[in-house]
Structure 1
Amino acid sequence: MSLDESEQKIDVREDIVHSSIPADELARLSDDVISALKTVYDPEIPADIFELGLIYKIDIEDDRMVKIMMTLTAPGCPVAGEMPGWVENAVGAVEGVSGVEVAMTFDPPWTPDRMSEEAQVAVGWY
């Protein structure tokens, strides 16, 4: 299964591709992975990384390995070296996940328009 974030938010139900994981388990696993991502916060912004739009792609492979492509609000972010570990720990704690790989990218660069309405409210922009 692949969840791509082309514009702003990942739509779990629309990007599910063929998988040997039973549909109900895949839906639960997807929801649980996203819930885990929502526990990770950028320490400089009062919103979680999922709602900030820092997660560009989530792949859940048939062996339940979760691969995440993410970015940061800026390449010089003070927690650039730590945040991938926070993501790996949070998602790795999800029941049924066999492992986690986190890759960073700055292409395309993050912009505030990637933020969800919830994140905009949290930072006082809405």
Structure 2
Amino acid sequence: MNEHSTVDAETASVIPAEELARMTDDIVTALKTVFDPEIPVDIYELGLIYKVDIDDERMVTVDMTLTAPGCPVAGDMPGWVEDAVNTVGGVQGTNVNLVFDPPWDQSRMSDEARAALNYW
């Protein structure tokens, strides 16, 4: 994960550790399929994903933000994230929370995103 994102699960989860690790990897992979149409980098590498939580019932909660509150796809992107995460085996459902605290800035981008956008 990039340094600003977290994936949490209950510390005493009923989900076996191997399955939780697989789900986590697959969720990150799914998140990397979602792009802001104005930026040629996926939302995960951009640092728009703040937190992913997998509960014992395999429900996933994603806290995410946008590059700007007035982003033209603000109404659509949470649905894209929900659809992507729901493709992961074992996920029973997804709730996406759009948050703006802390505000997104370029420091949240991964090195991969910085290279793709030439932000060095």
TM-score normalised by the shorter chain: which range applies?
A: over 0.9
Indicate which of 51, 54, 57 corresponds to 2:51. Answer: 57
TM-score, normalization: structure 2?
Answer: 0.93
* 1:47 aligned onto 2:41: yes
Distance in structure 2 (CA, Å) of the matches to 1:61 and 1:9:
17
State the Cα distance separating 1:27 from its structure 2 match: 0.2
How many percent of aligned residue pairs carry the same amino acid? 62
* 1:76 aligned onto 2:75: no
Distance in structure 2 (CA, Å) of the matches to 1:122 and 1:9:
19
State the Cα distance separating 1:125 from its structure 2 match: 1.4
Q: Could you give the per-residue CA deviations for residues 11-30 of structure 1, whole angstroms, max 9, x where no partner exists?
A: x5xx5532110000000000
State the Cα distance separating 1:56 from its structure 2 match: 0.6
Q: Could you give the per-residue CA deviations for residues 27-56 of structure 1, whole angstroms, max 9, x where no partner exists?
A: 000000010000000111111101100001
CA-atom RMSD in angstroms: 1.7
State the Cα distance separating 1:113 from its structure 2 match: 0.3
Distance in structure 1 (CA, Å) of the matches to 2:29 and 2:21:
12
Instruction: Say how many residue pairs are matched.
Output: 119
- Secondary structure of the residue aligned to 1:110 is coil
Runs of 4+ in structure 1 over 4 Å off: none
Structure 2 gap ranges (5+): none
Q: Could you give the per-residue CA deviations for residues 36-81 of structure 1, whole angstroms, max 9, x where no partner exists?
A: 0000001111111011000011000011000000000000000000
